[in-house]
């Protein structure tokens, strides 16, 4: 294959990687931004979403589209319920203390992982894409579903942006993010906002998992990579900045996709990790984060 | 209207308020005076439910505030202007006002009244709060609290760092609120800035109210101000 088709393929793969990354990092960024909680179990919420999607798709094996739609509803609900229980039973009881929540969510990460291993087993579980349309370029064919994932991610990101910037609930979330005590002094029930944000973060990553599991397969250890990449994106974009996270995800995803096609995925991961180290040295708060006071 | 009955408050194990008591009638302006660390700000935070009260009660219009969740207190009509303003500085003036309006679902009439009180804010609705001058930020902090349509207003050092012209504006607005029946508790270091508008003064020392007197009485007893605030 000559250079241009190779580049086109690399850009397409990069766009898919960017969309994937933006969606998985979004929930982590939202939770950190509003609650100042580093949710180390975020990747396990992703894995749980993928497992639920697989399980629901098994209920209607002859109808992948129906299974996909069921998963789009069921996975965020199931993962959101786990997140709600986590917020009420664990995070709230330790007062959202930054250090304690890291330790608690590390414990939760192992707990969910081992539960998934016990319930679903260690095998990778394929899930059929809801449709198998193939876009035919003169040089190669490309999965229409992958481009659908890019479009769906863009729609979801726009929805989150709209909620955050244009709705009453978005204003409440931003106010809680800026100053919890003053928010309380204006009648905002901070505890309930935290619950809603934690559930929303988990539901978003569960939707990401439903979209991506036909490309990746479900496996009980699949949460680790998205967690690592989400942290990279959130650190580069700026802790707590949704805009920064999305921009960083697009940049790293595109770069990673292109490098993966021309060189290797391992080389792409090395570049991303080096980039984080570099950013932490020259701009510890990330590109769009506020400097520590 | 407000009856603070012998409350005790702690920060960790450190006692900040000891048997702190205070009574206010509707439409009254009461000034809390005392040195730094005396417990004035803690008293306001205790009324707002932002600092837990271990003993005693705070009764506002027949409701014991210590029995409510913190976020329910402002919904009863208690507005708070914290020390240092604590604006949502990344948000616009409009959004800061919306936060106040949301608290009790105040309508357009309240917003209109607030903008008439501080017309400069009406010209800056799209500006980010953090980019305004200190005086304008103080106006916004007041306006945000007034959007609650408060029956009781708690002001923590509202004239701190302001020019004389701005202090005069803030004073005028407090007096105007009094004519609408709004009760006000003012915490101040600048005695000269508030005595002309206050009805009574409560002196706070070591977390308790040690004396309450009418401003007219105080005029004849200036050594009280020297003792409690260190300013003549």
Q: What are the pLDDT digits (tens) for B37-55?
A: 899 999 999 999 999 999 9
CATH number of the domain at B1-77+150-161+178-232, please? 3.40.50.300
What confidence score (pLDDT) does residue A293 get? 47
Of A187, A291, A293, which to mutate for an interface test with B (greatest number of B Cβ within 10 Å)? A187
pLDDT top residue among A9 and A46: A46
Distance from C-alpha of B92 to C-alpha of B69, rounded to nearest angstrom:
28
CB B118 within 8 A of CB B135: no
Mean pLDDT within A252-263: 85
Q: Does A174 touch chain B (CB under 8 A)?
A: yes
Of B41, B80, B102, B130, which to mutate for an interface test with A (greatest number of A Cβ within 10 Å)? B102
**Cβ count within 10 A of residue B121:** 22
What confidence score (pLDDT) does residue A267 get? 86
Q: What is the CA radius of gyration of chain A?
A: 19
Residue A189: which of B71, B98, B99 has the nearest Cβ? B71
Mean pLDDT within B22-40: 92
What confidence score (pLDDT) does residue A214 get? 94
Query: For residue B223, which phi and psi values (nearest 5 degrees)?
Result: -65, -20
**Reduced to 3 states, what is the DSSP secondary structure of residue B14?**
strand
What confidence score (pLDDT) does residue A277 get? 86
CB B117 within 8 A of CB B143: yes
Q: Does B68 touch chain A (CB under 8 A)?
A: no
Distance from C-alpha of B53 to C-alpha of B36, rounded to nearest angstrom:
21
What confidence score (pLDDT) does residue A292 get? 53
**Closest approach of A248 to chain B, Cα-based (Å):** 21
Residues A152-166 have pLDDT tens digits of 999 999 999 999 999
Question: How are strands ordered across the β-sheet holding B63-64?
Answer: B14-24, B2-11, B53-60, B63-64
Residues B123-159 have pLDDT tens digits of 999 999 999 998 899 999 999 999 999 999 999 998 8
**Cβ count within 10 A of residue A75:** 29
Our CA dihedral for B207, B208, B214, B219, rounded to 10 degrees, sits at -60
Mean pLDDT within B67-87: 95
Q: First CA to last CA across chain A, in angstroms?
A: 53
Distance from C-alpha of A127 to C-alpha of A17, rounded to nearest angstrom:
19
Distance from C-alpha of A150 to C-alpha of A162, rounded to nearest angstrom:
18
Q: Which residues of A touch B86 (CB under 8 A)?
A: 179, 181-182
Mean pLDDT (chain A) is: 91
Q: Is the pLDDT of residue A140 over 50?
A: yes
8 Å CB contact of B80 and A185 = yes
Which residues contact residue A157 at a Cβ distance below 8 angstroms, ignoring those fewer than 6 apart? A22, A23, A26, A246
CB A195 within 8 A of CB A87: yes
CB A246 within 8 A of CB A237: yes
**Closest approach of B12 to chain A, Cα-based (Å):** 14
Q: What is the CA radius of gyration of chain B?
A: 17
Mean pLDDT within A25-54: 94
Q: Does B99 touch chain A (CB under 8 A)?
A: yes
Residues A214-225 have pLDDT tens digits of 998 999 999 998
Q: Of the spans A179-183, A228-232, A270-274, which averages the highest pLDDT?
A: A179-183
In the numeric block, which tokens belong to residue B65?
A: 């505030």
Our CA dihedral for A128, A131, A136, A137, rounded to 10 degrees, sits at -80
DSSP letters spanning B35-97? -TTSSHHHHHHHHHTSS-EEEEEEEETTEEGGGS-GGGSGGGTEEEE-TT----TTSBHHHHH
Mean pLDDT (chain B) is: 90
Residue among B38, B97, B18, B33 at smallest CA distance from B225: B33
Q: Is the pLDDT of residue B230 over 80?
A: no
Q: Is the pLDDT of residue A249 over 60?
A: yes
Enumerate the CATH 3.40.50.300 domain ranges in chain B, comma separated.
1-77+150-161+178-232
Distances (CA, A) of B105 to A187, B6, B111: 11, 33, 11
């Amino acid at each position: 294959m000559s250079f241009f088709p190779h580049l086109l393929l690399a850009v397409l793969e990069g766009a898919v990687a960017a969309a994937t990354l933006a969606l998985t990092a979004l929930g982590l960024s939202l939770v950190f931004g509003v609650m100042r909680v580093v949710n180390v179990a975020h990747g396990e919420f992703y894995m749980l979403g993928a497992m639920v999607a697989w399980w629901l798709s098994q209920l209607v094996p002859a109808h992948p589209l129906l299974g996909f739609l069921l998963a789009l509803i069921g996975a965020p609900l199931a993962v959101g319920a786990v997140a709600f229980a986590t917020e009420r039973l664990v995070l709230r009881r330790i007062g959202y203390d930054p250090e304690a929540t890291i330790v608690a969510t590390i414990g939760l990460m192992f707990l969910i992982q081992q539960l998934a291993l016990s319930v679903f087993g260690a095998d990778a579980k394929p899930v059929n894409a809801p449709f198998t349309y193939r876009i035919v370029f003169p040089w190669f064919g490309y999965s229409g579903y992958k481009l659908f994932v890019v479009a769906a991610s863009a729609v979801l990101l726009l929805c989150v942006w709209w909620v955050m910037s244009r709705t009453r609930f978005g204003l409440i979330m931003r106010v809680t993010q800026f100053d919890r005590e003053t928010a309380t002094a204006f009648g905002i029930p901070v505890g309930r906002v935290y619950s809603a944000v934690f559930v929303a973060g988990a539901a978003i990553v569960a939707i990401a998992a439903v979209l991506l599991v036909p490309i990746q397969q479900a496996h009980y250890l699949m949460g680790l990579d998205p967690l690592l990449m989400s942290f990279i994106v959130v650190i580069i974009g700026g802790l707590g900045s949704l805009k920064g996270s999305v921009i960083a995800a697009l940049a790293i995803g595109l770069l990673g996709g292109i490098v993966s096609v021309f060189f290797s995925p391992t080389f792409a991961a090395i570049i991303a990790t080096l980039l984080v180290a570099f950013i932490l040295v020259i701009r510890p708060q990330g590109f769009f984060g506020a400097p520590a006071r | 209207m407000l009856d603070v009955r012998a409350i005790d408050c702690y920060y960790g194990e450190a006692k900040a308020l000891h048997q702190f008591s205070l009574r206010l009638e509707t439409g009254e302006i009461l000034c809390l005076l005392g040195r730094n660390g005396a417990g004035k700000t803690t008293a306001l935070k205790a009324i707002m439910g932002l600092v837990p009260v271990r003993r005693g009660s705070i009764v506002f219009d027949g409701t014991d505030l210590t029995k409510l969740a913190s976020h329910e207190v402002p919904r009863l009509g208690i507005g708070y202007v914290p020390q240092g303003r604590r604006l949502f500085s990344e948000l616009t003036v409009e959004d800061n006002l919306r936060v106040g309006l949301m608290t009790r679902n105040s309508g357009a009439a309240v917003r209109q009244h607030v903008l008439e009180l501080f017309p400069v804010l009406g010209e800056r609705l799209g500006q980010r709060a953090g980019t305004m001058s200190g005086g304008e930020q103080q106006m916004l902090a007041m306006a945000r609290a007034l959007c609650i349509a408060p029956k009781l207003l708690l002001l923590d050092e509202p004239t701190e760092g302001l020019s004389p012209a701005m202090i005069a504006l803030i004073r005028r607005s407090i007096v105007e609120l009094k004519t609408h029946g709004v009760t006000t508790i003012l915490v101040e270091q600048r005695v000269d800035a508030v005595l002309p508008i206050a009805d009574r003064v409560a002196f706070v020392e070591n977390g308790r109210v040690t004396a309450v007197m009418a401003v007219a009485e105080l005029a004849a007893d200036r050594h009280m101000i020297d003792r409690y605030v260190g300013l003549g």
